[in-house]
Amino acid sequence: MIRLVPDHSARIQRTEKVPFTFDGVALMGCAGENLAAALMQAGVLHLRNAPGDGAPRGAFCMMALCQECVVFVDGQSVESCRLTVSSGLVVKSRR
């Protein structure tokens, strides 16, 4: 691949890894990282089921419009792309 700008990825400073859960499964993510991104990174793509036909849905637009990444946190439905990872965060799916 031809790079137009130098590869600086090695210089990205990651925050510390913290534990959180998704439907009771223990996962790790970087504190402060976007929750939808952290779930993807952890291999969790299926976040909810479509209300009509029950088909699997997951993060799509990553900007809080499509509603496909909605999860339950603290008893509320929230777009996971609008949340960040924190230690001990309990995330439940709408599957």
Partner 1 sequence: MSENHDIAVIGGGIMGCAAALRLASGGMAPIVLDRGDLGQGASGVNAGTLSLQIKRVRLMPYALKGHEEWARMGDAVGFRRTGGYTLAFTEREAELLTERQTLKAEAGAPIEFVTNNQILTAEPNLTRRVLAASYCREDGYANSSLTGQYYRGRLREASVPYRERCAVTSITRDTQGFVLHTGGPAIKARRILLAAGAWLKPVAAMLGVDLPVDARINTVSVTERMPPLLTTVIGHATGLLTMKQKGNGTILIGGGWQGRGTPQEGRGEVTADSLIPNLSLAQFALPELGQARVLRSWTGFEANVPDFYPLAGELPGVPDAFVLGCVRGGYTIGPYIGRLMGEFILGHSPEMPVFDPGRDFEKDAT
Q: Among 7, 54, 74, 88, which residue interacts with partner 1 (rule: CB under 8 A)?
A: 54
Q: Among the candidate windows 9-17, 23-31, 34-42, 72-80, which touches partner 1 by CB under 8 A? A: 72-80
Residue choice 6, 24, 43, 75 for contact with partner 1 (CB under 8 A) = 75
- Closest distance to partner 1 from the beta carbon of 72 (Å): 7
Residue 51 binds partner 1 (CB under 8 A): yes
Residue 92: both structure tokens together? 């439940």
Partners of residue 91 on adjacent β-strands: 22
Closest separation in Å from C-beta 13 to partner 1: 36
For 13, counting Cβ atoms within 10 Å of its Cβ (0-12 exposed, 13-18 middle, 19+ buried), the class is exposed
Contacts by 56-62, CB closer than 8 A, 24 or more apart:
56/95, 62/34, 62/36, 62/37
Which residues are near partner 1 by CB under 8 A? Answer: 49, 51-52, 54, 67, 72, 75, 77, 94
